[in-house]
C-alpha cells in the first residue's frame, strides 16, 4: 500500500484522484485546501486528516511520511505545490498543466535530480481506447491526416470571476480547456510545423495547426451557445479523415488508468508534458497580437 496526500481537495477534479487512489488499493492520508468543501471525502477517505493551514499540514507530515502527493490546485500554484511535495521526499502526480510558464519546466527537472523523485502528470485522453487504436495506425503510416476538433465545455459566470478566468493565473482558455487536447494532437500526429490563430478571446479560441502528420482545425469554447442544441454541457469530438472519435467516452475511469501507469513508472512526466505547454504559450502570444 502506498500513502498519498492530496492538495486542492475541494476542486472539481479531485474526486477522480480520490477514486483512483481508492480503486487501486492505496491510502489517502491527508488533504490540503484553503476551502472547506470536502464532502467528497466521505465517499472515499472519510478518515483523511484535513488541513487549511500549510504550516500545520507540513508539521503533520514530519511524522507521517508520504509516497505520493497528488496536486489538483489552481494552475498558478502547481509549481509551489510541487516544490512542497518534493520537500516531503514524495513523488508527484500533478493535474495538467504541470506549469503555465514553460520556463519553469527546467526548474522541475532540477527538482527531480535534487530529490530523486518523479514528477508525473495526468494526460488522460491518451487512455481513450479509440485514441490508442488511432495512434497505432498513425505510427505505422506515412499518411497525412485531415483532423477537425471541436471541444466545448460550457461554463457559467462564476468561471470568469474565478482564477480560471484570469489568464495570468490559469493560462486562459487554451490551457484550462485545451491543454490535454493539444497534448493529444501532438502525441498522435507529431510536432508543430506552423500555428495559425483565427479566434482568441476569454470565451473561445480557434485556429489551424500544421503538424508532422496532420492538418488540424481546432475550436475551443466555454460558451453554451456553441453546444449542440440538445445534450450535456460538454461536447468533445475529434474527426480524423471522416472517422468520428468521441473524447468524452469513459471519462470517469480514465484517471484510474493514468494512476496505474504512473505507479508502474510509465506515466507521462515533464518531457512528455513540455510540447503542449509550449504550444499553449505560442497560442497565447499570438492571441495578444490579434
Average pLDDT of span 194-204: 96
pLDDT on residue 256: 96
**How wide is the angle at C-alpha 22 spanned by C-alphas 267 and 277, nearest 5°?**
30
pLDDT on residue 113: 97
CATH fold for the domain made of 124-250+269-289: Dihydrodipicolinate Reductase; domain 2 (3.30.360)
Instruction: Answer yes or no: CATH 3.50.50.60 is held by domain 3-121.
Output: no
pLDDT tens-digit series, residues 116-165: 999 999 999 999 999 999 999 999 999 999 999 999 999 999 999 999 99
pLDDT tens-digit series, residues 167-178: 999 999 999 999
* Choice between 271 and 290, residue whose per-residue pLDDT is larger: 271
pLDDT on residue 12: 86
pLDDT on residue 252: 67
Average pLDDT of span 17-23: 97
Residue 197 in this model has a pLDDT that exceeds 70: yes
For 203, which DSSP code?
S
Average pLDDT of span 47-62: 97
* Choice between 248 and 77, residue whose per-residue pLDDT is larger: 77
pLDDT on residue 250: 63
Task: Tell me the CA distances in angstroms from 31 to 4, 18, 53, 92, 162, one per residue in order.
Answer: 9, 10, 11, 14, 22
The pLDDT mean for the chain works out to 95
Average pLDDT of span 22-50: 95
The residues spanned by each domain of the chain are: 3-121, 124-250+269-289
pLDDT tens-digit series, residues 8-18: 998 889 999 99
Residue 271 in this model has a pLDDT that exceeds 80: yes
Average pLDDT of span 16-25: 97
For the chain, what is the radius of gyration of the CA atoms?
19
Determine the Cα–Cα distance for residues 269 and 112; give it in Å rounded to an integer.
11
Least confident of 33-37, 86-90, 94-98, 267-271: 33-37
Average pLDDT of span 68-86: 98
For 269, which DSSP code?
B
- Strands across the sheet with 204-211, in order? 192-200, 204-211, 214-221, 145-153, 234-240, 243-246
Residue 194 in this model has a pLDDT that exceeds 70: yes
Residue 249 in this model has a pLDDT that exceeds 70: no
pLDDT tens-digit series, residues 108-118: 999 999 999 99
Give pTM, 2 decimals.
Answer: 0.94
pLDDT on residue 100: 97
pLDDT on residue 18: 97
For 8, which DSSP code?
S
Instruction: Name the residue among 220, 245, 242 with its Cα closest to residue 150.
Output: 220
pLDDT on residue 285: 95
Phi/psi-derived region of residue 176, left when phi > 0, alpha when psi is between -120 and 50, beta in every other case? alpha
Average pLDDT of span 266-273: 97
According to DSSP, the residues that pair with 30 across neighbouring strands are 5, 49
Amino acid at each position: 500500500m502506498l500513502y498519498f496526500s492530496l492538495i486542492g481537495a475541494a476542486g472539481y477534479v479531485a474526486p477522480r484522484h480520490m477514486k483512483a487512489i481508492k480503486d487501486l488499493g492505496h491510502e489517502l492520508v491527508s488533504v490540503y485546501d484553503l476551502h472547506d468543501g470536502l464532502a467528497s471525502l466521505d465517499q472515499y477517505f472519510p478518515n483523511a486528516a484535513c488541513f487549511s493551514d500549510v504550516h500545520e499540514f507540513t508539521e503533520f507530515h514530519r511524522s507521517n511520511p508520504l509516497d505520493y502527493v497528488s496536486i489538483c490546485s489552481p494552475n498558478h500554484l502547481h509549481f509551489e505545490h510541487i516544490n512542497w511535495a518534493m520537500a516531503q521526499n514524495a513523488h508527484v502526480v500533478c493535474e495538467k498543466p504541470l506549469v503555465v510558464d514553460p520556463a519553469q519546466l527546467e526548474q522541475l527537472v532540477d527538482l527531480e535530480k535534487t530529490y530523486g523523485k518523479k514528477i508525473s502528470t495526468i494526460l488522460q485522453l491518451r487512455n481513450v481506447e479509440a485514441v490508442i487504436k488511432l495512434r497505432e495506425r498513425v505510427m505505422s503510416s506515412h499518411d497525412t491526416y485531415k483532423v477537425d476538433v471541436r471541444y466545448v465545455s460550457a461554463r457559467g459566470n462564476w468561471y470568469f470571476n474565478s482564477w480560471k478566468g484570469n489568464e495570468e493565473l490559469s493560462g486562459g482558455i487554451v490551457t484550462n480547456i485545451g491543454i490535454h487536447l493539444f497534448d493529444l494532437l501532438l502525441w498522435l500526429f507529431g510536432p508543430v510545423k506552423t500555428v495559425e490563430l483565427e479566434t482568441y478571446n476569454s470565451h473561445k479560441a480557434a485556429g489551424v495547426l500544421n503538424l508532422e502528420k496532420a492538418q488540424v482545425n481546432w475550436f475551443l469554447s466555454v460558451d453554451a451557445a456553441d453546444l449542440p442544441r440538445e445534450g450535456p454541457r460538454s461536447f468533445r469530438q475529434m474527426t480524423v479523415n471522416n472517422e468520428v472519435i468521441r473524447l468524452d467516452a469513459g471519462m470517469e475511469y480514465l484517471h484510474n488508468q493514468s494512476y496505474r501507469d504512473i505507479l508502474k513508472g510509465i506515466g507521462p512526466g515533464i518531457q512528455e508534458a513540455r510540447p503542449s505547454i509550449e504550444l499553449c504559450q505560442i497560442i497565447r502570444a499570438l492571441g495578444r497580437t490579434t
